[in-house]
Amino acid sequence: MILALKAHYERKQGELALKLAARDHDAATQALADAKEQLASLRDQEKFINGVLTEDEQAELLLKCLTTP
């Protein structure tokens, strides 16, 4: 009986560890996606500053900057 309880406890502990690892992976994946989006925004801003964007691109970027918190 004690061995069965120990095995059950260890299995549950393993399941919890897997769930925590999956949650951490999901959080890291989201953080990476957010960082990529911020980098793209910074690149657009750099192009705007350097005058590389067309007028339409400048207007779109300006609108994005004004509406993004």
For residue 44, the model assigns a pLDDT of 81
For residue 18, the model assigns a pLDDT of 92
For residue 68, the model assigns a pLDDT of 75
For residue 6, the model assigns a pLDDT of 85
Which tokens hold the place of 65? 């900057």
**Domain range for 43:** 2-67
**CA pseudo-torsion sign 9, 13, 19, 20:** positive
Which tokens hold the place of 28? 């890291």
Counted domains in the chain: 1
pLDDT by residue, tens only, the chain of 69 residues: 888 888 888 999 999 999 999 999 999 999 999 999 999 888 888 887 787 778 888 888 888 888 877
For residue 29, the model assigns a pLDDT of 94
